[in-house]
C-alpha cells in the first residue's frame, strides 16, 4: 500500500511512490570503514535520505524514516521567522543567523551588528558560553587573558537573529529559548510544514544552546533542504539559500566543511549538525533539485566529509581534485606517513520512478 504524509499548512503533499511499501524504505545502511595495517579499526553506520522538492523519497540508504535530531542542521529553519519578517536584512546577517560560526573577529562583528538591530547586547544571549572553535581566536583569548563570552558561542548568531525576530514580530525577548515561547512555537510549525509532518509528531528536546531541538524523520529533513534548493514562491527560503551560499565563510569558518564545500559545488547549500548529522540542498543534478539528509549513527565527525562526497558523487556531481582533498582515501600520520585507508560503502537504492 502506498504511504502518504500530509503536509501541515502546505499545498505540497510529500509521498512515497505507489509501487514502494514502507517496509521497502528500510535497506542496508552505508558504512565508512577505517583500516590500519590492513585491519579494520573502526566502522561508522550511515543512513541517508534523498528527496525531491515535492516530497518524493527518490533514493535512500538504510532507514529513510529514521527519526533523529538534526541539531544545528535545523538553523536555516530556525532563521525562517526572521527571514519572513525582515525581508531587507543584509545577507551576511541572515547567514550568521543560520551559522555554527567559529568565533573569529569577522564572525563576531556580524553578530554584534545583528544584536544592535534589536537593541540587544551579549548579555541578552541565552546560548551559554564556550571558547571559539577557531584555534587562532581561542589562542588570542588565552594570550590576552580574556574569558569567552556568549558572543564566542557558535550559536550566538542564531540567538541574535531570534532576538531580532522577537522584536519585529512583537513578541517578548524574555524567555525566547523556552518551548512555549511564541517564537519557538513558530519554529516548530516551520519544521513541520517544510518536512511534511504534523506538528504534533515533531518531537522536542533541548539543544546545547538551550533552544528546543526538534526531531524529524531523515526524509523530512531531506525535504527541508530540497525546499531550500527549490524554494518556489517562498521568498524567505530563497533569501536563506542565497545568504548561506554567498557567505559560506560565515556559516562555519576556516577549514570547516560547510565553508570549504559550498564554494566548490555551484548551487549547493549545506549545514552541519552535531552528532554526525548533515543536510545538503542541490539546485542542479541530473534529476533536478534534490535535498539530502544523512546521519552517522555513532556521531563520528571524521566520517562526515567522506559521506558527503560519496553522496555528491552518487547524485552526479563531478568530484574534482579540490573536492577529493576534503576526504582523502588514505590515512596519514603526523609525520605524513601513509598508515591506513578509508573505505566508503554507500548503497543508495534509487526508486524506479527516479531512474534517469
pLDDT at 353: 63
User: Cα separations (Å) of 117 from 84, 112, 170?
Assistant: 16, 9, 14
pLDDT at 13: 37
Summarised one tens digit per residue, pLDDT across range 283-299 is 999 999 999 999 999 99
* pLDDT of 8 above 70: no
CA angle 216, 221, 227 (to 5 degrees): 140
Class of CATH domain 22-354: alpha beta
* pLDDT of 160 above 80: yes
User: Cα separations (Å) of 329 from 147, 222, 307, 332, 333?
Assistant: 39, 27, 12, 10, 13
99 pLDDT band, cuts 50/70/90, is: very high
Grid cell in block for residue 55: 516530497
Summarised one tens digit per residue, pLDDT across range 198-234 is 988 999 999 999 999 999 999 999 999 999 999 999 9
List the beta strands (DSSP E) in 253-337.
268-273, 277-282, 290-296, 330-332
Summarised one tens digit per residue, pLDDT across range 228-256 is 999 999 999 999 999 999 999 999 999 99
In this prediction the pTM is 0.90
Amino acid at each position: 500500500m502506498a504511504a502518504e504524509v500530509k503536509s501541515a499548512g502546505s499545498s505540497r503533499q510529500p509521498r512515497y511512490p505507489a509501487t514502494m511499501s514502507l517496509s521497502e524504505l528500510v535497506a542496508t545502511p552505508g558504512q565508512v570503514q577505517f583500516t590500519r595495517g590492513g585491519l579494520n579499526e573502526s566502522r561508522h553506520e550511515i543512513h541517508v535520505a534523498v528527496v525531491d522538492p515535492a516530497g518524493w523519497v527518490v533514493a535512500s540508504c538504510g532507514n529513510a524514516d529514521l527519526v533523529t535530531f538534526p541539531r544545528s542542521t535545523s538553523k536555516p529553519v530556525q532563521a525562517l521567522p526572521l527571514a519572513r519578517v525582515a525581508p531587507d536584512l543584509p545577507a551576511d546577517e541572515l547567514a550568521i543567523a543560520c551559522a555554527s560560526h567559529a568565533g573569529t573577529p569577522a564572525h563576531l562583528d556580524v553578530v554584534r551588528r545583528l544584536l544592535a538591530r534589536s537593541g540587544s547586547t551579549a548579555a541578552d544571549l541565552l546560548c551559554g558560553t564556550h571558547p571559539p572553535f577557531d584555534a587562532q581566536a581561542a589562542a588570542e583569548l588565552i594570550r590576552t587573558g580574556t574569558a569567552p563570552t556568549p558572543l564566542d558561542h557558535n550559536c550566538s548568531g542564531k540567538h541574535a537573529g531570534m532576538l531580532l525576530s522577537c522584536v519585529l514580530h512583537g513578541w517578548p525577548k524574555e524567555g525566547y529559548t523556552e518551548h512555549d515561547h511564541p517564537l519557538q512555537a513558530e519554529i516548530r510549525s516551520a519544521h513541520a510544514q517544510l518536512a511534511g509532518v504534523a506538528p504534533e509528531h515533531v518531537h522536542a528536546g533541548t539543544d546545547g544552546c538551550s533552544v528546543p531541538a526538534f526531531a524529524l524523520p531523515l526524509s523530512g529533513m531531506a525535504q527541508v533542504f530540497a525546499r531550500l534548493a527549490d524554494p518556489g514562491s517562498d521568498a524567505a527560503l530563497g533569501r536563506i539559500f542565497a545568504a548561506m551560499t554567498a557567505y559560506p565563510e560565515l556559516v562555519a569558518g576556516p577549514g570547516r566543511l560547510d565553508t570549504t564545500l559550498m564554494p566548490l559545488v555551484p548551487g549547493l547549500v549545506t549545514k552541519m549538525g552535531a552528532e554526525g548529522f548533515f543536510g545538503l540542498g542541490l539546485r542542479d543534478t541530473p534529476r533536478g533539485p534534490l535535498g539530502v539528509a544523512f546521519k552517522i549513527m555513532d556521531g563520528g565527525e571524521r566520517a562526515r566529509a567522506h559521506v558527503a562526497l560519496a553522496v555528491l558523487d552518487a547524485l552526479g556531481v563531478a568530484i574534482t581534485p579540490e573536492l577529493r582533498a576534503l576526504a582523502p582515501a588514505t590515512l596519514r600520520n603526523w609525520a605524513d606517513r601513509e598508515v591506513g585507508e578509508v573505505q566508503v560503502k554507500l548503497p543508495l537504492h534509487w526508486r524506479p520512478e527516479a531512474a534517469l
